[in-house]
Amino acid sequence: MSNNLSTSGCRRWVIKIGSSLLTNDGQGLDVDAIGAWVEQMVALRKAGCEVLLVSSGAVAEGMTRLGWGQRPHALHELQAAAAVGQMGLVQAYESRFQQFGLHTAQILLTHEDLADRQRYLNARSTLRTLLKLGVIPVVNENDTVTTDEIRFGDNDTLAALVANLVEADLLVFLTDQDGLYEGDPRGNPDVRFIAESAADDAALEQMAAGTGGALGRGGMLTKVRAARRAARSGTLTLIAPGRQAGILTRIADGEQIGTRLYPSSVPLAARKQWLAGQLQVRGRLTLDAGAATVLRGAGSSLLSVGVARVEGEFERGDVVACVSPDGDEIARGLVNYSAVDAKRIIGQPSSRIEELLGYVDEPELIHRDNLVLTV
């Protein structure tokens, strides 16, 4: 795709607003800013754009309501803050959209909702139906029930997966920064600003390395990684300064503002987008050098003969990672055999599977239709 992608032709937007913007750096919900963003989103709707909002801020608002000065570390305290704050967050959006005659819908997701294929499809159908009805979905992670093991980790990742879910044209990150720089502009005012780049440019992560603010879990690094995820469905990502007046309408008018990270390859099929979006895997298959080369180059099925080692405890149909001899992940997919059986057939040709196991389900360890490259 061209790096001259325009936002003016985008018809389905996912807009993510971070905690520091929503709460004015922890001082409580900034109702004036929320009102301004809502007014701009209403203008987008009137112009024919579908809008999904991924909103942080529940924990930060809960902290304010509870009188906590610092973000807690204990999971149960974070969940309590999220439960309290979610009430204020939803009320703030609902009341302001209602002023313009628009309905909102609260969508709380966990990683398990998107890891399970059926629940993933249900979530997609619900979101698409809401958009068809002219409703503004307000999406957040269900912080009150998630654990460290099953959480998205940050709403930047969630926003990218939602963009995949609905095959959005544009993913907008409204931040407290102008966009992405080659380094930290706070320490080096002469560092170069990045106006646009391919989302899969490996150098971006090094440029964006750092930590998020005290309120949120994200940072510029999570946004770069999210842009790479969003690109799998052909989504253009824009990292933009959320505090600038009229930012969303200026983006819609085609103004060159913020950092554009554009998809540089053909979008994946919907099923492979789901596979690529899996944040957790049940096991790892270490490939020999030949199989790693073939998989990278051709995206073919993975045969047992090309696997050198099996790690983890998994069953048929689980998602596993395929890694090179150096340990770098190449792909992930739905495995056709359990870990126990896979260990018995690795390094062997498919013709020996029945002899070794007493049965044969599939000649491939992972069929190419159930496998997606992650490099």
CA distance 225 to 296: 20
**b/e burial code for range 31-51 (CB count within 10 A of at least 16 → b):** eebbebbbbbbbebbeeebbb
Please identify, in words, the CATH class of the domain defined by 12-273. Answer: alpha beta
For residues 319-323, average pLDDT: 94
Question: Which carries the bigger pLDDT value, residue 358 or residue 9?
Answer: 358
Q: Where are the CATH 3.40.1160.10 domain residues in the chain?
A: 12-273
pLDDT band, residue 8 (cuts 50/70/90): low
3-state secondary structure of 302: strand
pLDDT at 276: 82
Residue 337: other Cβ atoms inside 10 A: 25
Question: Which carries the bigger pLDDT value, residue 297 or residue 50?
Answer: 50
Question: Which carries the bigger pLDDT value, residue 35 or residue 266?
Answer: 35
CA distance 280 to 223: 19
Residue 270: Cβ-neighbour burial (10 angstroms; 0-12, 13-18, 19+): middle
222: tokens are 């999570």
pLDDT band, residue 266 (cuts 50/70/90): confident
Residue 144 has pLDDT above 80, yes or no: no
For residues 322-345, average pLDDT: 94
Q: What is the CATH number of domain 281-373?
A: 2.30.130.10
CA distance 345 to 265: 35
Q: Are 227 and 196 in contact (CB under 8 A)?
A: no
Q: Are 59 and 144 in contact (CB under 8 A)?
A: no
Q: Which of 161, 174, 162, 213 is nearest to 34 (CA)?
A: 174
CA distance 83 to 178: 31
CA distance 157 to 217: 11
Q: Which of 143, 133, 144, 127 is nearest to 53 (CA)?
A: 127
Mean pLDDT, the chain, as a whole number? Answer: 88
Give every CB contact of residue 263 below 8 A, 6+ residues apart in sequence.
Answer: 1, 198, 199, 230, 231, 232, 234, 235, 236
Q: Where are the CATH 2.30.130.10 domain residues in the chain?
A: 281-373
171: tokens are 């993913």
146: tokens are 């998630």
- Alpha carbon of residue 229 to chain centroid: 6
pLDDT band, residue 351 (cuts 50/70/90): very high
For residues 274-303, average pLDDT: 88
Phi, psi of 332 (to 5 degrees): -145, 155
Question: Which carries the bigger pLDDT value, residue 130 or residue 18?
Answer: 130
Q: Which of 51, 45, 21 is nearest to 33 (CA)?
A: 21
Question: CA dist 283 to 98, 99, 152, 312, 330, Å?
Answer: 47, 50, 19, 4, 14
Segment of 220-224, 295-299, 314-318, 336-340 carrying the highest mean pLDDT:
336-340
3-state secondary structure of 337: coil
Give every CB contact of residue 307 below 8 A, 6+ residues apart in sequence.
Answer: 285, 286, 287, 288, 291, 342, 346, 347, 365
Q: Which of 151, 156, 30 is nearest to 82 (CA)?
A: 151
pLDDT at 146: 63
What sections of the chain are H helices per DSSP? 19-22, 31-46, 58-66, 75-98, 111-115, 117-132, 155-166, 203-208, 220-231, 247-252, 270-276, 289-298, 339-345, 353-357
